[in-house]
Amino acid sequence: MIESLHGLFHFLSTAMSAALEPATYLYDPSKRVFWPYLLVGFAIAAFAIRWRSKGNWRKELYRSLLAPSLWLHPSSRLDFKLLVAKSLIRVLLFAPWLASAYAMSLWVVRVLHQSFGTAGYFPLSPASVAALYSIVLFLGSDCSRYILHRLCHELPLLWQFHQVHHSAEVMTPLTLYRSHPVENLLFTLRSILVTGV
């Protein structure tokens, strides 16, 4: 009984943390909605509106960036709901499985090692190897991301998931996170595979 209650408490605690996680994005420099990024973006947009406006630029600024009709639009509310739901799905369903990302990378390395053998003497310095690895990883990651994104547009099955990304009626910074959880899983697996290789 006590173990069941402990398990339930752990589950509820994990779910609550996952649901609140998107709020931390404003303070995370690795997220595109980090508050200084938003502030700079707002300043650039305000400057552009002021520069191109022929009438009341303050009214245009309000209408374009601050109006409740934008932030409370059903499309904007859906972006927020998707953000929270994907956080819950990732933590409660995918996280235990994706915790093995390191193991999957090791498996890829082992298969390559068994297929091609042990690497011989490599005459490059550790710094050169690190630089070469970084360049190859960047190119491989970028290329694989492009290929998967293209497949999401061209294959009807993948398009069923990817079209969520293209369904926004209004754009806010949270629209960036509008994607289907299955698409997120595919891109995560792509990243694991590329890093492992």
Note the residue count of the chain: 197
Tokens at residue 182, please? 């299955």
Exposure letters 122-151 (e unless 16+ CB within 10 A, then b)? eeeeeeeeeeeeeeeeeeeeeebeeebbee
Q: Is 0.85 topped by the overall pTM?
A: no
Q: Where are the beta strands (DSSP E) in 19-68?
A: none
- 131, 34 contact by CB (below 8 A): no
For 130-187, how does the pLDDT look when each residue is reduced to its tens digit (9 = 90+)?
899 899 989 999 999 999 999 999 999 999 999 999 999 999 998 988 999 889 889 8
Average pLDDT over residues 109-134: 84
